[in-house]
Amino acid sequence: MTTILIVALVLGGWLLYTLLVHPSMPGGQFLASRRRRHERAFWEDVLRQILLMRQEGRPASEEALAGALGKSLTVIRGVLLRMTDHGLLETNGPGQGKGEGLRLTASGERWALHVLRAHRLWESYLADEARLPMERLHHQAEQAEHRLSEKDLEVLDAHLGYPLADPHGDPIPSAEGFLAEARGIALQRWEGGEAVRVVHVEDEPVELFEQLLARGIRPGIHLRLVATRQGALEVEVDGQKVLLPPELLANIEVEADVPVWASDPSVRKLSQLETGSAAEVVALSEAIRGFSRRRLMDFGVTRGAHVEPVLDNAFGDPRAYRVRGATIGIRNEQAEQIWVRAVQGHHATDSPQNPAVQAGAEV
């Protein structure tokens, strides 16, 4: 009886293996396909990480990769060996120690740029179109970057209006493989004037990124440097003073606040305009991106256009504005990012009618 039971278990195990695991059977094919997808995604993570390390001027060592990707050195060394055999990497270049010479070959760099382009375009889509909170963009894009083809990216890029940078301020590689250099410097090393513009906010580690968002720090905003307090920096954001502790300063990159209107006392936010007064649009902040920016411009909210608040909302949002002869609703979060200059003795209804605008439309 025992012998029969053992034989039955062996035969049952063999049958189960044949149906579910053997490569010639559907179950085995599914598992093999899943393993290939998982390995491909891992390779793409490695390629993107090496590219980023090189862009930031950091050595792309085995140890650094293991730390960044949360893998053991044994796993990293194994995958690097396979990727080198496939012509994607070169290791231990002349004059470099063990693990310090990880470099992308031409084909490896093309693949890495594709993954980085997919990641940053998808972050742009999630922020501009899906209106996903900034703190959720990176994780979602890490999943999507492995599924997007070249054709998908062409369509997505065109739909978004060919953005040059993602919502964090990182440059997006072009379809031809060009990746612009970061243009800002860390706020902690800034030695220029007191007016700066944020061009990049680092999204890792997540805890520090969330602290920056809570303080209103985002790419495209303008800061006025107020004072230094024991390593911390006091800045003015949208008229409010904010204290930035030392651990946050390295995660903010800035450049000189070039636009003259940014320091012009006659220029203010559209949201600050009194009902019944008229103003001229000076600029739309870079913080208004994608669909929201296109929608505003379609409704005639462009540089030089005259705008007038005509009706306040009892619930606060949206507020009604007269633009180019039509009334549209603009949400306060958008009005905070539109810079205007008061115009004396002019009414927004004097501007020519925009035929594309329907009265009462909401942006």
For 207-231, the pLDDT digits (tens) are 999 999 999 898 888 888 888 888 8
Nearest to 305 by CA among 354, 271, 237: 354
Confidence of residue 114 (pLDDT cuts 50, 70, 90): very high
Contact 241, 276 (CB under 8 A): no
How many Å apart are CA 252 and CA 169, to the nearest integer?
10
The per-residue pLDDT of the chain, averaged, comes to 83
pLDDT at 350: 44
Find all residues with CB under 8 Å of 70, minimum gap 6, and list them: none
Cis peptide before 265 (omega within 30 of 0): no
Residue 275 has pLDDT above 60, yes or no: yes
Confidence of residue 126 (pLDDT cuts 50, 70, 90): very high
Confidence of residue 285 (pLDDT cuts 50, 70, 90): confident
Residue 92 has pLDDT above 50, yes or no: yes
SS3 110: helix
pTM > 0.85: no
Look up the CATH number of domain 26-104: 1.10.10.10
All CATH 1.10.10.10 domain ranges in the chain, comma separated: 26-104
Amino acid at position 110, single letter: R
* Range 309-320 average pLDDT: 86
Work out whether the CA dihedral 273, 277, 280, 281 comes out positive or negative.
positive
HSE (CB half, 13 Å, CA atoms) of 14? 6
CA terminus-to-terminus distance, the chain: 79
How many Å apart are CA 225 and CA 85, to the nearest integer?
52
Least-confidence region, from 127-141, 174-188, 333-347: 333-347
Strand partners, 201: 252
Residue 24 has pLDDT above 60, yes or no: no
Confidence of residue 196 (pLDDT cuts 50, 70, 90): confident
- What CATH class has 267-362? mainly beta
SS3 25: coil
Other CB atoms within 10 A of residue 231 CB? 10
* Range 282-293 average pLDDT: 80
Most confident of the ranges 102-116, 162-176, 191-205, 326-340 = 102-116
Nearest to 256 by CA among 322, 309, 187: 187
pLDDT at 248: 94
All CATH 2.30.30.90 domain ranges in the chain, comma separated: 185-258, 267-362
Residue 151 has pLDDT above 90, yes or no: yes
Strand partners, 47: none
* Range 273-291 average pLDDT: 85
If you search the block for the tokens 């539109």, which residue do you land on?
338
Q: At what angle are helices 106-128 and 150-160 packed, to 10 degrees?
A: 40
pLDDT at 354: 42
If you search the block for the tokens 């411009």, which residue do you land on?
297
| Residue 39: both structure tokens together | 């390995």
261 versus 9: the higher-pLDDT residue is 9
SS3 165: strand
Nearest to 44 by CA among 188, 160, 143: 143
Nearest to 182 by CA among 196, 192, 172, 195: 172
Cα–Cα distances (Å) from 317 to 81, 238, 271, 332, 362, in that order, read: 57, 19, 11, 6, 11
* Range 170-180 average pLDDT: 92
Portion of the chain with pLDDT greater than 70, in percent = 81
The domain defined by 185-258 folds into SH3 type barrels. (2.30.30)
* Range 112-126 average pLDDT: 96
Contact 269, 261 (CB under 8 A): no
SS3 148: coil
Least-confidence region, from 26-35, 36-45, 108-117, 351-360: 351-360
